[in-house]
Amino acid sequence: MTDLSPEFPVGHQRDVSELRLEFDAVLRGYDRAQVLTLLETMQRSIADPAADGAVTPAQARERAAFDVVLRGYDRGHVHTAFDLLLTRLAEVHGEEPAPQAPEPALQPPEPAFDRVLRGYHAAAAVELLDAGTAELEALRSGESDTDRARAAAARLRERRGALPRALRGYDRAQVDAAVDAVCAELESGPGPGPD
């Protein structure tokens, strides 16, 4: 979050319902409109729990499924703001704050590649990494087996070799390293699953 501690007038108690919702935009982040709609609703609900459209903590948790999009809000920043608002919302409703759920085991890698001359076409590189992430999810969930994962790794490497170049594209060495990391995990087989 760009500013999680806004200025408050002297003598004014800081309340998370008054936080400015300013987040860093990243290549692959949460949908901006969805985030702002929910978090602003949570802020209004903290200020006036009886207002029309106010949400309870349970409703806020249900609505916190944001789409991951290109140029969305930083997911870590959104999680931090959501957790702060959810804790305060639970207090307003007289509930004990629920223990914070752990982050999902698999978060797609956050591409933070440098733009260079004659790099890989950005959208094609992201699409390739998304395909690799989908294969990892299938492997970890048990929907895929080791042979399929190894075949997927081979296809990813083959597709990487055919990635188009762009005048201002992603640094090829960085993309190659990210693809190699996904392929290595696919080839190593599933990690320990949940018991």
Mean pLDDT of the chain: 79
Judgement on whether residues 123 and 184 belong to the same structural domain of the protein: yes
In the block, tokens 């789409």 appear at: 67
> For position 110, what pLDDT does the model report?
52
How far apart, in Å, are the Cα atoms of 129 and each of 43, 64, 152, 182? 36, 25, 12, 8
Structural domain contains residue 102: no
Are 134 and 179 members of one domain?
yes
Specify the pLDDT at position 17: 58
Q: Is residue 195 part of a domain?
A: no
Is the residue at 1 inside a domain?
no
Is the residue at 9 inside a domain? no
Q: Domain range holding 130?
A: 115-188
pLDDT average, residue stretch 90-99: 75
Structural domain count, the chain: 2
Q: What is the pLDDT of residue 1?
A: 38
What confidence tens digit (pLDDT) does each residue in 54-87 have? 898 889 888 888 888 877 888 888 888 888 888 8
Shared domain check, 77 and 131: no
Q: So what's the pLDDT on residue 102?
A: 44
Together in a domain, 122 and 85: no
Separation between Cα atoms, residue 180 and residue 158, nearest integer Å = 12
Residues 65 and 120 placed together within one structural domain of the fold:
no
In a domain, 194, yes or no: no
Whether 9 has a pLDDT exceeding 60, the answer reads no
| Mean pLDDT for the stretch of residues 8-26 | 61
Instruction: Indicate if 123 and 181 belong to the same structural domain.
Output: yes
d(CA 111, CA 122): 10
Whether pTM exceeds 0.85:
no
